């Protein structure tokens, strides 16, 4: 009797061991029921069964996040590579005394400039008339400070009419609408040439750029200090500024251009100096 | 005899004075220190605006419509654009080039006057008292807030 009980107990123990082993093998499988989720999702993502999303968090959103749409107009994004002077060789700059200052002080000599002191959006058509038809690949425009007293919507309307004129003259050109530049705090405090009006005008210019699928360059971002104004030490009248600021303006333009519109030149291949190569043995 | 000597002395003195008062333009300076003149004008407080650093000669030629060959050396500083204030000092290779430069300065004053008349009318009186002075191959153009003081300072150099 004791030996039979011993044999039965031995059999039960063996069966239990076999079952335990089977359970262990099952836990190491790629599927099946398990309480330990894998740390990395498999290469091919399959939908998670309802109710198991928390166990498989990395597999719960099989659809990849959409990549952002490329920027095609509006505020020009910052580019990693600064454009060289050649980039501006097909550019025309159009505007008021600040554009004249750009011509004199920025250091850029590869572009053409059509500018006049006291120029406004109403008179700029005369400058456009000086441009040879269809010459330019880019047109940069800075207007607005001399007509800061207009209603912003009226300014936008007149600016839009000017854009029509420019497009008729330069149909292949990428158009960059440059914002009004900042004024100093002291100038703003005097009234009329206030930073508030500058920003109101700039808002309309950004709208225009988006509506017309053109580019907008934020010169307040480029030239204002941390207070949001033109620094006091670079201006005597609160509007015009010293030569150094034009260099800052140019650097902003070098790093803000239509995506894909600039390809840096390839580096020149290295040439070997004659006589330094070992002669071939014959 | 005494009277005759006195008259003769007076005549000699008068002749000497007349020679000394000859046309300044005929007495060209050996060399005009442009940087020193620039500093003297700044120190004299004749400008109310910030004058930017001097331009390179190609920008000067573009600004005034000059041929670079007409400019041996120059020092030209313009304001921020807030005013019409300006300093331009040239040495030309010869008198003919100096004359062309002086003509370009006249044109500059006229154009600036037209520009500022409706823009910043307060600048027009400065332009009306602009200094354009030629001495030998040197030409100096100054539009300043204090043209009288600018003229006095220039007298010591040209």
E strand or H helix at A141: strand A138-142
pTM of the model: 0.77
Q: Establish if B66 touches chain A: CB-CB under 8 angstroms.
A: no
Residues 6+ apart with CB under 8 A from B28: B135, B136, B137, B138
Could you say which residues of chain A have pLDDT below 50? Answer: 1, 20-45, 277-282
pLDDT of B74 strictly over 50: yes
Q: What is the pLDDT of residue A6?
A: 55
Q: Which residue do the tokens 């076999």 mark?
A: A18
Bridge partner list, A113: A93
Whether the predicted pLDDT of B106 surpasses 80 = yes
Mean pLDDT value of segment B33-52:
97
What pLDDT score was predicted for residue A181? 98
- What's the ipTM? 0.81
pLDDT band at B6 (very low <50, low <70, confident <90, very high): low
Which residues, including other chains, have CB under 8 Å from residue A235's CB and lie 6 or more apart?
A184, A187, A241, A242, B80, B82
Q: Nearest CA of chain A to the CA of B118: how many Å?
A: 8
β-pair type (A112-115, A91-95): parallel
How far apart are the C-alpha atoms of A96 and A140, rounded to whole Å? 12
Closest CA to B34 of B154, B132, B147, B148: B154
Which pLDDT value is given to residue A272? 65
Domain ranges of chain A: 74-254
B83 in contact with A, Cβ within 8 Å:
yes
Question: Which pLDDT score, from 0 to 100, does residue A67 have?
Answer: 72
Contacts of A211 (CB under 8 A, 6+ apart): none
| Residue reference for tokens 């501006």 | A88
Quote the pLDDT of residue B13: 59
Q: What is the model's pLDDT at position A114?
A: 98
Contact B83 A236 (CB under 8 A): yes
* A176 strand-pairing partners: A140, A215
- Tell me, what's the pLDDT at B7? 65
Is the pLDDT at B110 greater than 70? The verdict is yes
The vertex-B116 CA angle with B67 and A182, nearest 5°, equals 100
Spatial separation of the C-alpha atoms in residues A264 and A115, rounded to whole Å = 29
Q: Look at residue B53 in the predicted model and tell me its pLDDT.
A: 97
Q: Quick one: pLDDT at residue A226? A: 97
> Does residue B89 sit in helix, strand or coil?
strand
- pLDDT value of position B47: 97
Give the residue with greater pLDDT, A278 vs B91. Answer: B91
What percent of chain B is modeled with pLDDT above 90?
Answer: 79
A74-254 placed in CATH 3.40.50.300: no
pLDDT at A141: 98
CB-based contact A100 B58, cutoff 8 Å: no
CB spacing of A105 vs B52 below 8 angstroms: yes
Half-sphere exposure at residue A75, Cβ-oriented, CA atoms within 13 angstroms = 11
Which residues are bridge partners to B46 per DSSP? none
Q: A156: which 2 tokens?
A: 């936008």
A190 CB within 8 Å of a chain B CB: no
Contacts of B59 in chain A (CB under 8 A): 104
Q: What pLDDT, on a 0 to 100 scale, did the predictor assign at position B103?
A: 98
pLDDT at position B30: 72
Burial class of A129 by CB neighbour count within 10 A (0 to 12, 13 to 18, 19+): exposed
How many inter-chain contacts (A to B, CB under 8 Å) are there?
42
B49 touches chain A (CB under 8 A): yes
d(CA B104, CA B102): 5
Chosen for mutation from A240, A246, A249 (greatest number of chain B CBs closer than 10 Å) is: A240
* Widest CA span in chain A: 121
């Amino acid at each position: 009797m004791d030996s039979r009980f011993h044999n039965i107990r031995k059999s039960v123990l063996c069966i239990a061991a076999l079952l335990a082993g089977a359970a262990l093998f099952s836990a190491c499988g790629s599927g099946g029921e398990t309480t330990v989720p894998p740390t990395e999702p498999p290469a091919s993502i399959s939908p998670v069964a309802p109710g198991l999303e928390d166990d498989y968090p990395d597999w719960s959103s099989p659809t990849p996040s959409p990549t952002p749409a490329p920027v095609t107009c509006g505020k020009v994004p910052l580019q990693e590579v600064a454009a060289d002077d050649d980039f501006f060789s097909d550019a025309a700059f159009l505007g008021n005394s600040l554009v004249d200052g750009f011509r004199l002080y920025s250091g850029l000599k590869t572009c053409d400039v059509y500018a006049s002191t006291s120029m406004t959006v109403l008179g700029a058509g005369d400058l456009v008339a000086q441009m040879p038809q269809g010459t330019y690949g880019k047109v940069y425009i800075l207007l607005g400070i001399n007509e800061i007293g207009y209603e912003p919507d009226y300014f936008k309307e007149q600016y839009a009419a000017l854009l029509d004129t420019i497009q008729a003259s330069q149909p292949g050109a990428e158009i960059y609408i440059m914002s009004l530049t900042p004024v100093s705090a002291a100038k703003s405090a005097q009234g009329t040439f206030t930073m508030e009006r500058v920003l109101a005008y700039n808002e309309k210019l950004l709208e225009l750029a988006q509506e017309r699928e053109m580019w907008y360059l934020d010169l307040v971002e480029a030239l204002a200090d941390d207070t949001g104004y033109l620094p006091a030490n670079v201006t005597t009248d609160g509007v015009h500024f010293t030569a150094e600021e034009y260099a800052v303006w140019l650097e902003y333009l070098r790093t803000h251009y239509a995506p894909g519109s600039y390809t840096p030149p390839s580096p020149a291949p290295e040439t070997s100096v004659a006589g330094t190569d070992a002669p071939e043995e014959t | 005899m005494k009277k005759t000597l006195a008259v003769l002395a007076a005549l000699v003195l008068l002749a000497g004075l007349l020679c000394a008062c000859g046309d300044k333009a005929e007495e060209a300076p050996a060399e005009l220190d442009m940087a020193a003149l620039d500093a003297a004008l700044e120190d004299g407080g004749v400008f109310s605006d910030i004058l930017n650093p001097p331009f390179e000669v190609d920008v000067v030629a573009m600004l005034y419509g000059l041929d670079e060959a007409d400019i041996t050396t120059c020092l030209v500083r313009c304001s921020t654009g807030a005013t019409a204030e300006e300093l331009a000092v040239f040495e030309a290779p010869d008198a003919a080039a100096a004359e062309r430069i002086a003509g370009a300065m006249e044109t500059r004053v006229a154009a600036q006057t037209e520009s500022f008349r409706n823009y910043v009318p307060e600048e027009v009186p400065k332009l009306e008292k602009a200094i354009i002075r030629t001495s030998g191959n040197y030409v100096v153009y100054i539009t300043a807030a204090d043209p009288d003081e600018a003229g006095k300072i220039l007298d010591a150099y040209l």
